[in-house]
Chains A and B, each alone.
Chain A
Amino acid sequence: MSCGLRDVMEFETLGRPAVLAASSAFTGAADEQSVLLGQPDLRRVLVPHPIQDRSDDELRVLAGDAVEALLAAVAA
């Protein structure tokens, strides 16, 4: 998780909009991490916890639910 936001910060520094898709269990940690990295507005889209126990079909639904937010996070 922490590595994911570091990657996002580095991509932004390289001039590429980036977003991390993460489990909703990490919302607080994500807020803290982005502050520690120096940019509270690092983009993240939270996907409802749990992840590991879901079936393939459930994961595809989560992807479908998240895609608009993910695209918006890198386009605006």
Chain B
Amino acid sequence: MSPVELELLAIVKHDCPVCDQVLPALDSAGARLVSQSTAEQTAEQVARLSLTHTPELDPELALSARLDPDAVPALFLLQDGDERERVIGLDRERMVELAAAAGKSLVLDGLPALRPGCASRTRDPEVAAWLAARRARSEGRIRARELALGDLEDPIEALHDRGVTDGLPVVPPTPERVVAMLQHSSRHPQEVVAEVPPYGGVATVEKVAINAVMAGCAGPELPLVLAALQAACAEPFALHGLIATTAPAGPVVIVSGPYAERAQMNAHGNALGQGNRANATVGRALQLTIRNLGGGLPRREDRAAHGSPAKVGFAFPERLDETAPWAGLAHSRIGLGSEETGVTVFAGESPRLVVDQLAREPEALAASLAAGLESVASTRVRLAWDAMLVVGPEHGRVFRQAGWSRERLQDELFERTQSPAGSLVRGAGGIAEGLAPEWASDPEALVPKFPAADRILIAYTGGDAGLFSMVIGGWVSGTLGSDPQTVSVEPWR
């Protein structure tokens, strides 16, 4: 083939001593020179080396990104613009050969035979992030509208002003941060996770990632948020009703399985409290996504009389170590293997303490915890409400040593949360609330608190010391209300 169709291209930058060494020879040989540096920096290099040709600039590093050399100087043999061969760094023999193939005489006498070059500017972390964001946009992986915040706006205030926060400041979701977040799921960013009530906004993986950045997630939490959203938008969870209710409940996320640790969640002391980034941000990311895609806002579509702090976000992992009395909640609900991770989403309020410092036998402890469960919503609310019991390790040990399964505990709690109809009827004890009189025709008849034993969800987490468990009151059960939903995290990783 005629050498006329071949091009010798050199990519250089101004602050690279190896580029300085080879540029004069490349210049004399008539290679096409392209610099990754600015106009001023390039001019300075031209003057310093007394080059006869000024290298072209590579605005926005488009050419460098396309050919993507690790290091400069990078010498390319191009045919009709396509790469045939390259030499990275100073390799005298190969560079001379490459130049000859392009019909150019390159004289590198007196230079070292081999010398590695300097990192290409495309490898600079900030530049690499910006290039990745640009590539994601051009490849259609990023499609969200760009919001240009005004120069005169403070970015934090600007996001509050646009109504996309939960009242706390959010991390500005720049394209670079969102692209970095998307690395934590293998799913395509344009895949639809759910349509979010009340207005049916389409939540793609990309939209969830944007809200996860805003919530403050570091990255590994993303699959947990995706799974939680999938679960929350499943029809039986009744998210629309949960948003619209005057009751305080919101989506509570329980993570069961080894991925919780990969995401650096805390299942030990203060697991339901503050201080751990993943615990704090998974629930928050879910609620920001629901708010921003679904459009349901407090005092408008969200009619909660009080709400609760849990509605800012509430997520915690189960502690599935050697102290755990049972397999994970998700594992027992949908049959996951122990190496898998699942999330359960439950309509719940803020947690409340049940203290029992004396019970050493499982029956006594179950009775004590049952008293805490029976008062969820009100002792007078019967057969209508769900609840979750979060068993702490010191209590868990009692059940584990007695060999009680989760189902056994649920049954025992169900039995012990029954009360005689006569004590529950309207007017009993001077309390107006209660069962309608026709339900209390036999005052001795026992009325369960819960519709069934399996409506009492049981999770396990917390610190080693403390004879405590926590009750998370739920919401209306079943077809009139919400059904807890469990999904696997694995497909979202």
Contacts and interface: CB of A to CB of B under 8 A. Distances in A.
B383 interface: no
A62 interface: no
A39 B149 CA distance: 9
Contacts of A35: 148, 150
A28 interface: no
B150 A37 contact: yes
B358 to A, nearest CB: 58
A64 interface: no
Contacts of B148: 35, 38
Contacts, number: 19
Interface string A1-43: 0000010000001000000000000000000000111110000
Contacts of B161: 13, 38
Nearest to A39: B150
B152 interface: yes
Interface in B366-384: none
Interface size class of B (residues with CB under 8 A): under 10
A68 to B, nearest CB: 29
Contacts of A37: 150, 152-153
Nearest to B153: A38
Nearest to A34: B150
A36 B148 CA distance: 9
Nearest to A2: B152
Interface in B229-272: none
Contacts of B67: none
Nearest to B149: A38
B147 to A, nearest CB: 9
B450 to A, nearest CB: 46
B93 interface: no
Nearest to B152: A36
A15 to B, nearest CB: 13
Interface in B137-165: 148-153, 158, 161
Nearest to B150: A38
Contacts of B153: 36-38
A17 B283 CA distance: 37
A39 B150 CA distance: 8
Chain B CB within 10 A, most for which of A35, A37, A38: A38
B91 to A, nearest CB: 50
8 contacts: A6-B152, A13-B161, A35-B148, A37-B152, A38-B148, A38-B149, A38-B158, A38-B161
Interface of B: 148-153, 158, 161
Given A6-B152, A37-B153, A38-B149, 16 more contacts: A13-B161, A35-B148, A35-B150, A36-B150, A36-B151, A36-B152, A36-B153, A37-B150, A37-B152, A38-B148, A38-B150, A38-B152, A38-B153, A38-B158, A38-B161, A39-B150
Q: Which 10 A-B residue pairs are closest in the complex by CB-CB distance?
A: A38-B150, A36-B151, A36-B152, A36-B150, A38-B153, A37-B150, A37-B152, A38-B158, A38-B149, A35-B150
